[in-house]
Structure 1
């Protein structure tokens, strides 16, 4: 009974923060919507201002051509040239005393226009024109004395501007007087923002128009659910995991340190393999060995749940020793089927670099595999800072003499520094998945990748890119000159024995063909 009450209390106490967090998150979401809507409205105003400036410029150039007799035939050709040269302007017309007497489309022509319909005497939104009655037109009016120039700008240019905002969940509309231009280039006298959420507006300081930006939803909670579903699920999942973790902490029979010691004695840490492929041929040239905890009750335990504790406690050293021995044992059975050379990457932490144990473990690995074509690549992780000393320099030198290669794992995300590149005789840099996943999305990540490639070339280092999940990412990395790729696009990590068996079968099929 006490155990049941304790579990209920755990659930209540862990999910109560979830409710509070979601409410705070929702409040912040609504505030963010208002701020983003205002920002988008201001940005669109700036861009529309720049488009209308072209109309103003066309008007000014056309007014400079007016002759004393207001003859259209003298200036018609030059007005057409102005319209053809200035972007966004579809037509420019000259008027005098409320009568248009010259147009860039038809030349001399008498048309009446009503200056009173122009907001502040400068701007008018029309549902269409004589040429295209279905497409709204924005007319920019410029007056010097009694001379007037009118330039028409197609509403489709504004629609294209609105379409640029489609990557954002906001609907943009334009108001000139009591006339509206909607995001789908429709002319209306009805306010299209009544059903939207977090509607914000921004007025132009140059022209008499207002831009409205609103979220396309009638409920803030619905918008919150639709817009932040991933993070809501993450919060809920985190709370569930937190509840499970709290239950486990309260009910587990021993501290994690003792559990890790037990797991080492029982050899529960097993090697998983993820292939590393040639960026051009897509052939497997090696693997990265990833540690997994095969717990007798909980199944496969993710490394992020125990690696940090193992490093803090120093148990990472015997765990790595266990992993190297098991990897060497399994590789030896298939060593004749592996390509030449075959890259085998194993993570090491800065704690490995404080004693000669790592060197002894690598010697045992090389002797066990007994194949010079298998190259052991030690991938220095960056969860902790590496203290470079005379001892570490000597250790890395001895490892290189032994035939090992040295790589910096997750370069640029941890404690890496240019000092490490200078002090350690490296062979590889591994680009972290956090940069690879943003290829095509964030130009900053692409610049960092390109800079890393350039740095590696100057230092004569090879590069492995992790976390490749799409063909587009792989193609981009290949074009940057990155030699090797790794990620879910090619394969997920699987038990080493399963990988070697599958690889052997594939080789056998190719040989038989």
Structure 2
């Protein structure tokens, strides 16, 4: 199947399709990369939240140990020994900034300078009675503190972690994710300030994770647009590859649209452009070698591929049903080209045209033949329809009516390539035919294969008994010609007498004859 030089689609449509094919790999690749980036960021924030909880649990473990060690001292006088024990926990325990003792909900002794600070404890400040995220104390105002409280009866011990350790953890655990520590209604982010409004919700990969051991939780996530920033930072090579494949797909789609279309559409396009043209091969009389007529052969004059052989497009035309329209167009072109030269023809000049089973499904062929014969003076030409056997012609009422009507017009029927199809003998039995055309494969074996020659002789004998005319195709040598004439073959056709020619060359050759 040749490829098109100009597809049936308009230029704007082709450009839209090409652009779509070019953008599709880019868009699809972008979606896949975006999805992959989202998954990666979600995994990153999940790991960040888990690591933050691990770090804060570790800090609180130290405060809990400090409070546990100090709890037996609660209620004792705040003397130098007790103060020394409080300060010893600060120096021994990592992350512990200050320690405090209380008795009956009254703080009375602390590791901070002064040592015997007095203040009232409000248990409601502590989430679960244990944790309070407070915004500083009188010694360090506006500086976040995470206080751990341990109470048994009237005794109470406190250990606190200041914002230095808290904000360092929030800043350094992840380079990309933002972290928030929440204890009850209060929360702390990397700026070191305690807030009591709504906890921020991150637009990208938001994760909430609560500690299983202490009453706090962390929020992890990233701001809006972080997915695209991540993709730009991590996937520049893949972006370039997507653009490359997108451009390649667009160019390929554009080339394929210019180069080819669906086979049936291509045939339809060629039919509309009158690219199917008639070529004429002479048929001569066996006894005199005079030109008795011609067979009209369809050729495809493709604007880019040149002249296309019929075996490359005729089967497809038959399968698609376009062969009927193509034959109609061929008959009209043949009449238009040969009618002006009709005076050069001997009366009854045979013009053979191939038809298939598709032509025999209705009676439109009768109208086509009427129009063809009307273009010539009465009796000047004889139209011969040659039945090809690529598709089986069923002997229905329609086909019988068709052949009867054609015979009434003076149209003759020939069986093409007789002897090669499975239905040749069936056609002789079911249809009223006038000629047999011997397939060139039998003619080619004259003098070379005895079996083929016997088959050839049998076909000739059969035509004589049935009183049918006979045409031998594919005659290329003088030996073949002499043998066929000796056997009484009526008409000969082949390269020995002339190749298929366009109309002008055919008429010139006819004049020489």
Q: TM-score, normalised by structure 2?
A: 0.49
**Higher RCO, 1 vs 2 (CA within 8 Å, ≥6 residues apart):** 2
What TM-score does the superposition give when structure 1 sets the normalisation length? 0.49
Please identify the structure whose Cα radius of gyration is greater: 2
